[in-house]
């Protein structure tokens, strides 16, 4: 009987520790409404403008460095995302350094070469290659193109707390641009988080 009581006590203790470890972060993390308010604040707006300047400066460098590249559109995707669900762990000693929200901006240069997209990308990599790793401005870059199996997309988070999408050349979708111009290529520039809430 004692061993049954002891095992029951141990099980209840483990459940208490588990529940505390999982539920404890939610007591300290700000609620979503507060994160949305922070994302729209003047402080974040200033960081957002600085991030946009860096991205657009790099877009201009690319357009100058590849003279034949004619952008059909330049899409800027700016998002603040709740990242709390990505960090729950029973084995971390502290939750004080975990992030609640990160804000990040990406730019996508959409173009359609007058040749096979794979050949066009190969030429870019020879003559004006994207940097390996991060550029000096903290931007990661990659090139993608339409294939028979996969069409390029400009994707973002579906559950962003705050989001803004801007286009240089109007509101045409990638599908419309593809229909009018043929196969598309996308030069993706993804900035590091410009604002983080812990």
Where do the domains of the chain lie?
Answer: 1-29, 31-197
Q: What is the mean pLDDT of residues 185-196?
A: 95
Average pLDDT over residues 111-119: 93
Average pLDDT over residues 19-27: 44
Would you say residue 9 has pLDDT above 60? no
Q: Is the pLDDT confidence value at 27 over 90?
A: no
Q: Band the pLDDT of 133: cuts 50, 70, 90.
A: confident
Cα angle 98, 103, 106; round to 5: 135
Are 103 and 195 in contact, with CB atoms under 8 Å apart? yes
Between vectors from CA 35 to CA 192 and to CA 40, what angle results, nearest 5°? 75
Mean pLDDT of 144-163: 90
Give the mean model confidence (pLDDT) for residues 108-118. Answer: 94
Q: 108 CB contacts (<8 Å, ≥6 apart)?
A: 73, 74, 75, 76, 77, 154, 186, 187, 188, 189
- pLDDT tens readout for residues 70-108: 999 999 999 999 998 754 444 444 444 578 999 999 999
Helices (H) and strands (E) in the chain, counts: 5, 6
pTM of the model: 0.79
């Amino acid at each position: 009987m004692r061993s049954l009581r002891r095992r029951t006590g141990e099980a209840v203790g483990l459940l208490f520790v588990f529940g505390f470890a999982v539920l404890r972060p939610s007591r300290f993390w700000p609620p979503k409404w507060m994160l949305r308010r922070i994302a729209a604040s003047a402080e974040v707006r200033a960081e957002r403008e600085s991030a946009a300047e860096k991205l657009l400066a790099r877009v201009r460098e690319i357009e100058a460095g590849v003279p034949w590249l004619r952008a059909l559109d330049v899409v800027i995707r700016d998002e603040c995302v709740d990242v709390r669900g990505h960090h729950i762990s029973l084995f971390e000693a502290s939750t004080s350094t975990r992030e609640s929200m990160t804000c990040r901006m990406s730019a996508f240069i959409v173009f359609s070469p007058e040749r096979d997209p794979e050949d066009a990308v190969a030429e870019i990599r020879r003559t004006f290659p994207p940097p390996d790793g991060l550029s000096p401005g903290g931007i990661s870059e990659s090139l993608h193109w339409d294939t028979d199996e996969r069409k390029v997309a400009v994707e973002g988070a579906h559950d962003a707390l705050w989001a803004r999408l801007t286009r240089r050349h109007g509101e045409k979708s990638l599908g419309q641009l593809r229909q009018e111009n043929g196969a598309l290529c996308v030069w993706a520039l993804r900035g590091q988080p410009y604002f983080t809430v812990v």
